[in-house]
Structure 1
Amino acid sequence: MRVRVSTTALGVAAVLLALPSCSTDTTGVKYQTAPSARTGKPAALSSAALEPRLLDESDLGGGYLRKPERPTQHDDVTVIGCPALSKLGGGTATGGTLTFPHMAKVTFTYGGGSSEISEELYSDSAKKLSGGISRIFDAMTGCPTYQVVAGGASVGIASQKLPTPHDLGDERWSQFLTFSAGGRSTVVKQTAIRDGNLLLIVSGSPALVDRHLAAALDKATATS
């Protein structure tokens, strides 16, 4: 049951944060950092351009193994005990109206699979990124405890808003999520940083998130 709780913790958090794994842009355009000629604002990076900005094993060091991506599931997600979060997903809490079409994601296990760290990158206008992620984090941290039912599995969740590192990016959000199922609990730290037209979300074991957050942001925002 412990492995299932850990997997559920990261998976449910991803759903609630409106991470649209089935909605990607595969145009293959690389590093579109120049401002749009029409608006003068930085253009959104394609999904293909975001991929090389993710951390890899060489960035993390020894003991990390990349976890294969699981097939996308489309189970309805029901939130019990947090009306604000339920409203965001039209009753399923999937956050369908807050999708960011340009995205890339990677997950690693550490210590023989006992811990995980997941990184997601999104690109859109600063306004859309800020508004979308703010609404989700505000809803999640506004409910101290609630329950999520997905695919027949029920998980109890307790949330706690955390202070954020003020020297990173333009905007920051962070929280602890404690997932409880089958008599066991798993604590996940989740920190999101918006830097210009990029949104970075790092989730997983609190120690691993703290260890690699700055490096993830450095690589995500580096130009080539």
Structure 2
Amino acid sequence: MRVRVATTALSITAALLFLPACSIDTPGAKRQAPSSTRTGKSADAVQKPAVPSSAALKSGLLDQSDLGSGYLRKPERPAQHDDVTVIGCPALSELGGDAATGGTLAFPHKAKADFTYGGSSSEISEELYSDSAKKLSDGVARIFDAMTGCPNYQVVAGGSPVDVASQKLPTPHDLGDEQWSQLLTFSTGGRNTVVKQTAIRDGNLLLIVSGSPALVDRHLDKALVKATAAS
């Protein structure tokens, strides 16, 4: 089965394209079959009424002083609008037009920062979004479920095929109201790249941290503390 997924969708879907921007090589990494469920408190629980603005989200992003030595801010890349072909994943196909065009998954307020660590050998990306708690919860859950709903699938971007495997990971239950986490293994040209992606919803705020698993684990807590304080 083939489905066209635009790279202008919510950034979790854009993680399919993380490989060209990341070089966290793990030779011989083993593919793992996925499963996906959301955890944490219901989005129908008591919610924070305010929806942070994009300016507030931007002020809540981690910077080099938060991360420590060895981190360099990457310049913002122009938005890409090229289509990506996904082969072998009905779960992604079922997302339909919303995932392909941004639709209801294009949250109204957003901010993003990308960093390299130790030269260009490792990368970490932080994204902040705001909307109603229900919209954040439903939108993120749908995409995480789709991405981890297939044991293995293939992405063709720019004529280069990339094999993808995903695995649901345990989530930090003590952070925020809801949590999602997954491990994506990208394989191409005999090399494997592993990207960890963890999302936390705290009221009307959504934090997504992606990149080297070690860097995600190291900075997740401080990212949430700074983001919630700014909002």
- The normalised TM-score by structure 1 is 0.80
Give me the whole-angstrom Cα distance separating, in 1, the residues matched to 2:177 and 2:12.
24
1:105 is matched with which residue: 107, 112, 116?
A: 112
Q: Distance in 2 between matches of 1:125 and 1:210?
A: 27
> What residue ranges of structure 1 are gaps of 5+ in the alignment?
1-10, 19-39
Query: Does structure 1 conserve the Cα–Cα contact (< 8 Å) formed by 2:60 and 2:230?
Result: no
Once residues 59 and 202 of structure 1 are traced to their aligned partners in structure 2, the CA distance between those partners, rounded to angstroms, is 15
For 1:65 and 1:89, locate their aligned partners in 2 and report how far apart those are by CA, in whole Å: 37
Alpha-carbon distance between aligned partners in 1 of 2:99 and 2:217, rounded to the nearest angstrom? 28
Q: CA deviation at 1:67?
A: 0.5
Larger relative contact order (Cα-Cα within 8 Å, sequence gap ≥ 6): 2
User: What amino acid is aligned across from residue 149 of structure 1 in structure 2?
Assistant: V
Q: Distance in 1 between matches of 2:82 and 2:95?
A: 16
Identify unmatched segments of 5+ residues in structure 2: 1-7, 16-46
What is the CA-CA distance between 1:57 and the residue it aligns to? 0.2
**Aligned-pair CA distance for 1:89:** 3.9
The equivalent residue for 2:132 is: 125
Match among 204, 210, 213 for residue 206 of structure 1: 213
Q: 1:120, 1:200 within 8 Å by CA — same for their partners in 2? A: yes
Structure 1 residues 41 and 194: alpha-carbon distance in aligned structure 2, compared to 1, 3 A threshold: closer
| Cα gap change, 1:41 to 1:114, in 2 (>3 Å) | closer
Q: Runs of at least 4 residues of structure 1 off by over 6 A?
A: none
For the residues of structure 2 that align with 1:73 and 1:84, how far apart are their CA atoms?
A: 23
Counterpart of 1:114 (choices 121, 126, 129) is 121
Q: Answer yes or no: is 1:94 the counterpart of 2:106.
A: no
Say yes or no: does 1:178 pair with 2:185.
Answer: yes
* Inter-CA distance 169–208: structure 2 relative to 1 (3 Å threshold): same
Determine helix, strand or coil for the equivalent of 2:100.
coil
After superposition, the Cα gap between the structure-2 partners of 1:15 and 1:198, relative to the gap in structure 1 and judged at 3 Å, is closer
Q: Name the count of aligned residue pairs.
A: 192
Normalization by structure 2: what TM-score? Answer: 0.77
How large is the Cα RMSD of the aligned pairs?
2.3
